[in-house]
């Protein structure tokens, strides 16, 4: 239970619990937005994205200056 109102910068803990029901064995969350529903799919593993080429160029050593 939270006593009083939330204040700016205030941190409160809230626990939400539901009784156990064996018939509810899966996730039935539905996602939607203004353009309609969102189709969800389960993935086995998330891959780490590769950095963009601009970031790779910034981490490499600069090329030697051409002779004058």
CB 38 within 8 A of CB 32: yes
The SS3 assignment for 57 reads helix
- Specify the pTM: 0.24
Pairing state between β 32-33 and 36-37: antiparallel
Q: Which residues contact 68 (CB under 8 A, 6 or more apart)?
A: none
Give the model confidence (pLDDT) of 3-55 as tens digits.
Answer: 778 888 888 888 888 888 777 776 667 778 888 888 878 889 988 888 887 65
């Amino acid at each position: 239970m939270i006593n009083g109102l939330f204040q700016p910068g205030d941190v409160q803990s809230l626990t939400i619990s539901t009784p156990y029901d064996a018939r509810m064995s899966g996730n039935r969350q539905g996602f939607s937005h203004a353009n309609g529903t969102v189709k969800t799919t389960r993935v086995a593993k998330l891959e780490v994205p590769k950095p963009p080429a601009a970031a790779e160029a910034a981490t490499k050593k600069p090329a030697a200056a051409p002779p004058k």
